[in-house]
Amino acid sequence: MKKILCLITACVMLCTLPGCGPGGDKIAFFLYKSSDTFISEMIEDMTSKVPAGITYELRDAANSQSIQNQQITELIAGGFDLFIINAVDRLASNSIIERCAKDEIPVIFFNREPLEDALIGNNAYYVGAAADSLGEKQAEMVAALFTGSFAGSAFDKNADGIVQLAILKGEQGHQDAERRTDSCVAKLKELGFEVEVLSIEVADWNRRDGHEAMRRLIAQHGDSIELVFSNNDDMALGAIDYLLDSEIFSTELTVHEQPFIIVGVDGTAVGLEAIAGGLLYGTVNNDSISQSDAVLTLADYILNDRSFHDFPYTITNGHYIYIDGAIITQENQADYG
């Protein structure tokens, strides 16, 4: 995080993309907010892979679309050749693309997928995970844990054969949050489990709100909770913070001995630590390293006007690059640490 803050403070750095010559192009990175753990890890990896040669700027919108709009407007006049954007609000993507197109600036969006009609017909792309896949893998993870039958297992605390589920949702109306939430429940049912959703608590992707959301869940449902799906690791960790503070979870117990199972998404460093410590059962890797590589490779092709016939990633509908994630539990956590 210190590295990210230094980059934002310094703002202008020198770097090179593969295939780009010295004294070449200028690119700009726009973040929805650098305090997001996943975004900070991803941008740190991305910028670490661009050593000397191309001028770039990095801007943090602090979760304000109006600030991000102003930042984009300011840099449009700066002679930049490419914008790489983690939008605050995906609904703003249309206007961003239209504004950039006037100055013939191509755009790569990452992490927050624009509306489909925003990209089609424009020099604009999206790189990220397929949100449905991440939610489905959460369900597949716990289905494997329950070994195909929840009834009669140690996880069925009230012996009713129904999974009593609580969900920590990233953001009301946010596409990834909505799709991860819907797909994890739908997939669990598809795999043959009867599910009762006790509550869906919005915690805005962050650890602090995850702590408060877990407090509400325990107050409302107490011992009824048998499984928690969290749209990301940070909210799951906030929930675990509350459970440890309340002595409901214990660092002395194995993950199978905790009162219920919590599953996240992202595979952040702190999330992996919680898995190793027996507090978070597992997560789905939102593969920031592969996504970063895809963004930089795409940037190289755009800036050098290269043919996409040998592009190493599959491009869906001419504009989308989806990076699949993997299930992470204690069994394979060391492979990702």
Residue 87 lies in a domain: yes
Residue 258 lies in a domain: yes
Tens-binned pLDDT, residue by residue, of the chain (337 aa): 444 444 443 343 334 444 444 446 899 999 999 999 999 999 999 998 874 688 889 999 999 999 999 999 999 999 999 999 999 998 999 999 999 999 999 999 999 999 878 899 999 999 999 889 999 999 999 999 998 789 888 999 999 999 999 999 998 888 889 999 999 999 999 999 999 999 999 999 999 999 999 999 999 999 999 999 999 999 999 999 999 999 999 999 999 999 999 999 999 999 999 999 999 999 999 999 999 999 999 999 999 999 999 999 999 999 999 999 999 999 999 999 7
| DSSP code string of 104-122 | T--EEEESSPPPHHHHTTS
| DSSP code string of 108-158 | EEESSPPPHHHHTTSSEEEEE--HHHHHHHHHHHHHHHTTT--TTSTT-TT
Tell whether 106 and 142 lie within a shared domain: no
Q: Which of 327, 323, 324 is nearest to 110 (CA)?
A: 323
**CATH at 68:** 3.40.50.2300
- Domain range for 249 is 131-285
Cα Rg of the chain (Å, integer):
21
How many helices (H) and strands (E) the chain has is answered by 11, 13
Residue 81 lies in a domain: yes
Residue 39 is which amino acid?
A: I
Structure-token pair, residue 232? 């990301």
Tell whether 200 and 138 lie within a shared domain: yes
In angstroms, the Cα distances linking 211 to 98, 225, 227 are: 40, 16, 16
Residue 188 lies in a domain: yes
Number of domains in the chain: 2
Residue 206 lies in a domain: yes
Residue 321 lies in a domain: no
Distance CA 113, CA 90 (A): 6
